[in-house]
Amino acid sequence: MAFPVQDHVLWKSYREGDKQALGTIVERHYRTLRRYGLKFMIDEATVEDCIQDLFLQLWQNRLQINDTFSVKHYLLKSLRSHVIQYLRAEKHFSHQETDWDTALPEEVDAETLLIQEEVALFQVNELKRQLDTLPTREREALYLKYYENLSVCEIAEMMNVNRQSVSNFLQKALSKLRDRWLVAPLFWIICTFF
């Protein structure tokens, strides 16, 4: 098996003027970026435009762009500022509040995921209800931490808050979700009995 070229190697080539390297970076991170952008509840076309602009600017500014520890983090962070800029311009929205989509997957393939169907359906729906009650910033932090696997430090930088606040968001969100859990399985057992 050939090892794929690492991100930071591509990054270096792109800054030296290699268009194909930037192309590969696009290919590699497009899905991640689009998925993240869509979470802000803006339509697909707008997200795709933001991504396009992001890469266009990366190219134009390649001589001023620095090396980066994580290309993925760099791109997500840039996309975030593009999206927020768009929201500011188009929707005149105030600084603080962004939206965060919590829509569920169409279906859960419990068998593939090695979980029980009933557990899956019940817990997933219950959790979604809980997630909806969280502030959008906490939802975003959860996503960046447990879906994109970013570090607390990286998240703090993206969301323009200090690290302690991110840790707090995460802890608060998790413990809120966990507390409900203690009730949920019991409820489920009762449901199956009656």
Partner 1 sequence: MSLSPNPFSVAELLEDETFQRWMKERSQEDRLFWEEWLYVYPEKREIYEQAVAMFLVIEGKKDTLSDQDISLKKEQILELISEESSSSIKSLLSWTWLRGVAAVIIMGVVTWYYFRGLDTPQTAPLTTRSEEKGLEREQWRQVSNTSQQPMVVLLPDNSSVVLSEGSSLRFQAAVNTAKREVFLKGEGFFEVSKDPTKPFFVYTNSLTTKVLGTSFQVRSFEGETVALVKVKSGRVAVMPVASPNKSTLLTPHQQLSIEIKTNKIIQEESRAAPKNPSDIVNQEFTYEYAHVSDILEQLQESYNMPIQYEREKLSTCTFTGQLNDLPFLEKIRLICLTIESTYQIIDNKVVIQSKGCN
Q: Is the separation of the CB atoms in 74 and 88 below 8 Å? A: no
Tell me what percent of the chain is helix, strand and coil, each rounded to the nearest 5. Answer: 70, 0, 30
Tell me the residue type at 34.
R
48 binds partner 1 (CB under 8 A): yes
Q: How far apart are alpha carbons 85 and 21 in whole angstroms?
A: 27
Minimum distance of partner 1 from residue 131's CB (angstroms): 6
Is residue 132 exposed (0-12), middle (13-18) or buried (19+ Cβ within 10 Å)? exposed
Is residue 27 exposed (0-12), middle (13-18) or buried (19+ Cβ within 10 Å)? exposed
Minimum distance of partner 1 from residue 193's CB (angstroms): 19
93 binds partner 1 (CB under 8 A): no
9 binds partner 1 (CB under 8 A): no
Give the DSSP letter of residue 108: -
181 binds partner 1 (CB under 8 A): yes
16 binds partner 1 (CB under 8 A): no
30 binds partner 1 (CB under 8 A): yes
- DSSP track, 12-43: HHHHTT-HHHHHHHHHHHHHHHHHHHHTTS--
Among 149, 192, 193, 194, binds partner 1 (CB under 8 A): 149
Minimum distance of partner 1 from residue 147's CB (angstroms): 5
22 binds partner 1 (CB under 8 A): yes
- 102-121: which residues touch partner 1 (CB under 8 A)? 102-106, 108, 112-116, 119-120
Site of interaction with partner 1 (CB under 8 A): 8, 19-20, 22-23, 26-27, 30-31, 34-35, 38-39, 48, 51-53, 55-57, 59-61, 64-70, 73-74, 77-78, 81-82, 85, 89, 101-106, 108, 112-116, 119-120, 123-124, 127-128, 131, 142-143, 145-147, 149, 153-154, 157, 174, 177-178, 181
